[in-house]
Structure 1
Amino acid sequence: MLGIRYIRFDAMDFVMHYRRGRLVRSGRGLAFFYFAPQTSIVAIPAGSRDLPFIFEETTADFQPVSLQGQLTFKVEDPARLADQLDFTVDAAKQYRTDDFEKLPQRLVNEAQTAAAGIIHRLDLRKALRTLPEIEREIQTHLQRSAVVEMLGIRIQGVQVLALRPNPDMARALEAATREALQQEADQAVYERRNFALEQERRLRESELSTEIAVEEKQKQIAEKRMETEAVKQENAHRLRQMELQSGITLEKERRELITLEAENERAQADTRRYVSEAMLAPYASMDWKKLMALKGEGLDSSGQIALAFRELAENASRIGNLNISPELLDALTQPRRKPRA
């Protein structure tokens, strides 16, 4: 039949079929026949979409920067979006107007408004260091935006990929950063050297403290040894004095003993002498011959010869010559053998 056509959409397209201005059917991935003169078909992408953006802003210190990133969104209420923008397609599923191109631009405009609000409050250096904060503020602004809500859009995420100053300022910042980094490196080297010197000083102080402690300990040990040696010498001196005193006492006692023994022996000798004198007094005036006779013992040949020679000696003045031959002397001095029984 003339004007009857068939159309089929993908599952990622939300389709609304209007006939004579009334909504006949709606849903995702529809396929149906329709009468072209009386039908309007709206097709809205239902999946998530990534929308890149890049725009120029000025920081609080009047430095131009370029902000680059992307946002991810999804059409959550297709009917609301269809009320705001025309997503009508023809039989070839081509959009009849350029309204489908306005949606990304409106979202980018909202993102730029949010970014400008925070970048204008920051100077260049701080802005370069606060990308996560800029990213969170843009996402929060878009999620709370009345325009986004009116379009039936849900913002799923925002990523700020880069924030760049102009080339001249970038080179200046790089030079300043290099200088700062060099200064930090020099400062780090200086601090490391100071730290090494401080550690060396502390180590030396520790070594000196240890040496002082060792010297003090050795001094204490030496003093203790001297005290011990002095005590030993004092004890030895006392021992020697005790030994000397003991020796003196012993010598005194020995001398007293010797004196006593001498006195005893002298007394005994005096006693013996007195006894002997008393016993020998009667014989003092007697001739030795009488004494020999009183003895009452006979003389042997030697004794007789001795007596004979004594008498000769006593009467030598009256003897002219006396010849004694060796044979006679030998015979006289030889002991006589007793006859065998």
Structure 2
Amino acid sequence: MATITRFPLVRHLRGTATTHIECLANGRRREAGVGATFWFRPMTAAISEIPIDDREQEALVRVRTSDLQEVTAPATITYRFAAPAQAAARVDFSIDLGNGTWLENPLETVGAMINGAATAAVTATLTGLSLREVLTLDASNLATHTLAGLRGDERLVAIGVEVIGIRFSLLRPEPEVERALQMPAREQVQQEADKATFERRALAVEREAAIGENELANQIELARRQEQLIAQKGANSKREAEDAAKADEVRVHAEAGRSATLAKAKAEATRVLGAAEAEAEAAKLAAYQEAGRDVLIGLALRELAANLPQVDQLVLTPDLLTGMLGRLTGAQQD
């Protein structure tokens, strides 16, 4: 935007490097140029400011295909004013001489022209194509044909607009139609997802079966080893029983032999002892036969005294003593 400095009776304008200034005084061009700086009188001057930098215009083009379906083609158009003087003559770019702002909205007017030209170019390019052909059309080819149509548009050429380029976003049909077109692809994607899910489940089942078979094989191997262990334990127990039986047999034979030897020794000892006792008794009897009566009585009394129970008190009465003395005296007399 140009900068206007106010002074008494006159004013000073300073343009920018991206704007073209057209100044008319009394209907005649007085000043013109890019970045112009000049003095002017507001009562007689008419000034236009035309931007010469690259600008972008958004356009939303709606076209109808051969199968009566509506398609929306959003586009971004880059343009510039290649002939600013021609633009100033055809479009109102006048500025307020007090603050330098546009009195109208010239860029909106130009944008409407560009939008209309883009609609016409896109419609001409897509006419006769079906919905699927339009949706599968290469965006670069569409941009090339549309750009050629814009550059050949007489209205844009008349206002000095040069279209530099155009970019198209995603071409889209109506929402209901778009969902219907997306349905087969979604179904295919869903089928592939279901297939992947089934394959994953089948793989999981196979892995579980393999794990089960492995566990079963491990259990069978464990049972076989347990069977071998039990058989080995039985064999070991049998061997231990046989060894114990043999040991008991040897021990019994040894004890029997020892018992027999002890019995024989005891019998021999008993025989020898009996013979010795017999000889001793025979010797005693032979001695008793040769001994006198008094000796025998004394021996008998000694034996009797040795075998009598213990007597703590002995009471001798006169009758007992008299009887005993009488027997002793009678015996002596005999």
TM-score under structure 1 normalisation?
0.51
Q: 1:170 corresponds to which letter in structure 2?
A: E
Which of 151, 159, 176 aligns to 2:159? It is 151
**Structure 2 vs 1, CA of residues 52 and 81 (structure 1 numbering), >3 Å: closer, same or farther?**
same
Distance between the aligned counterparts of 2:185 and 2:132, measured in 1? 11
Distance between the aligned counterparts of 1:184 and 1:15, measured in 2? 64
Flag structure 2 segments of 5+ consecutive residues without an equivalent. 1-6, 195-334
Q: Do the aligned partners of 1:14 and 1:45 also contact (CA within 8 Å) in 2?
A: yes
Q: Do the aligned partners of 1:49 and 1:74 also contact (CA within 8 Å) in 2?
A: yes
Residue matched to 1:317? none
Q: Do the aligned partners of 2:76 and 2:166 also contact (CA within 8 Å) in 1?
A: yes
Identity in percent: 25
Residue matched to 2:77? 71
Residue matched to 1:6? 12
- How far the C-alpha of 1:177 sits from its partner, in A, is 2.6
- 1:134-185 Cα offsets, whole Å, 9 max, x none, are 2111101011111121111111001011211111111111112334667899
- 1:187-207 Cα offsets, whole Å, 9 max, x none, are xxxxxxxxxxxxxxxxxxxxx
Q: Secondary structure in 2 aligned to 1:89? A: coil
Residue matched to 1:98? 105
Q: 1:27 corresponds to which letter in structure 2?
A: G
**Structure 2 vs 1, CA of residues 147 and 33 (structure 1 numbering), >3 Å: closer, same or farther?**
same
Which of 56, 64, 69 aligns to 1:58? It is 64
Q: Do the aligned partners of 2:61 and 2:122 also contact (CA within 8 Å) in 1?
A: no
Q: 1:69 corresponds to which letter in structure 2?
A: A
Residue matched to 1:138? 146
Q: Secondary structure in 2 aligned to 1:157? A: strand
Distance between the aligned counterparts of 1:172 and 1:77, measured in 2? 48
Deviating above 6 A after TM superposition, structure 1's stretches of 4 or more consecutive aligned residues are 181-186
Residue matched to 1:122? 129
- How far the C-alpha of 1:57 sits from its partner, in A, is 1.9
Q: Do the aligned partners of 2:50 and 2:84 also contact (CA within 8 Å) in 1?
A: yes
**Structure 1 residue 16 corresponds to structure 2 residue 22:** yes
Q: Secondary structure in 2 aligned to 1:11? A: coil
Q: Do the aligned partners of 1:54 and 1:69 also contact (CA within 8 Å) in 2?
A: yes
- How far the C-alpha of 1:19 sits from its partner, in A, is 1.1
- How far the C-alpha of 1:13 sits from its partner, in A, is 0.6
Residue matched to 1:46? 52
1:276-315 alignment runs, 5 A limit: none
Q: 1:166 corresponds to which letter in structure 2?
A: E
1:28-43 alignment runs, 5 A limit: 28-43=34-49
TM-score under structure 2 normalisation?
0.52
Q: Do the aligned partners of 2:21 and 2:48 also contact (CA within 8 Å) in 1?
A: yes
- How far the C-alpha of 1:17 sits from its partner, in A, is 1.4
Flag structure 1 segments of 5+ consecutive residues without an equivalent. 187-341
Distance between the aligned counterparts of 2:188 and 2:67, measured in 1? 20
Distance between the aligned counterparts of 1:139 and 1:180, measured in 2? 37
Distance between the aligned counterparts of 1:88 and 1:60, measured in 2? 45
Q: 1:39 corresponds to which letter in structure 2?
A: A
Distance between the aligned counterparts of 2:177 and 2:184, measured in 1? 10
Distance between the aligned counterparts of 1:2 and 1:124, measured in 2? 66
Q: Secondary structure in 2 aligned to 1:36? A: coil
Q: Secondary structure in 1 aligned to 2:128? A: coil
Distance between the aligned counterparts of 1:181 and 1:64, measured in 2? 26
Q: 2:112 corresponds to which letter in structure 1?
A: Q
- How far the C-alpha of 1:98 sits from its partner, in A, is 3.2
**Structure 2 vs 1, CA of residues 180 and 114 (structure 1 numbering), >3 Å: closer, same or farther?**
farther
Q: Secondary structure in 1 aligned to 2:171? A: strand
Distance between the aligned counterparts of 2:192 and 2:86, measured in 1? 57
Number of aligned positions between the proteins: 187
**Structure 1 residue 112 corresponds to structure 2 residue 115:** no
Q: Do the aligned partners of 1:86 and 1:100 also contact (CA within 8 Å) in 2?
A: no
- How far the C-alpha of 1:45 sits from its partner, in A, is 0.4
Residue matched to 1:278? none
Q: Secondary structure in 1 aligned to 2:16? A: coil
- How far the C-alpha of 1:43 sits from its partner, in A, is 0.4
Q: 2:59 corresponds to which letter in structure 1?
A: F
**Structure 1 residue 82 corresponds to structure 2 residue 88:** yes
Q: 2:169 corresponds to which letter in structure 1?
A: L
- 1:207-243 Cα offsets, whole Å, 9 max, x none, are xxxxxxxxxxxxxxxxxxxxxxxxxxxxxxxxxxxxx
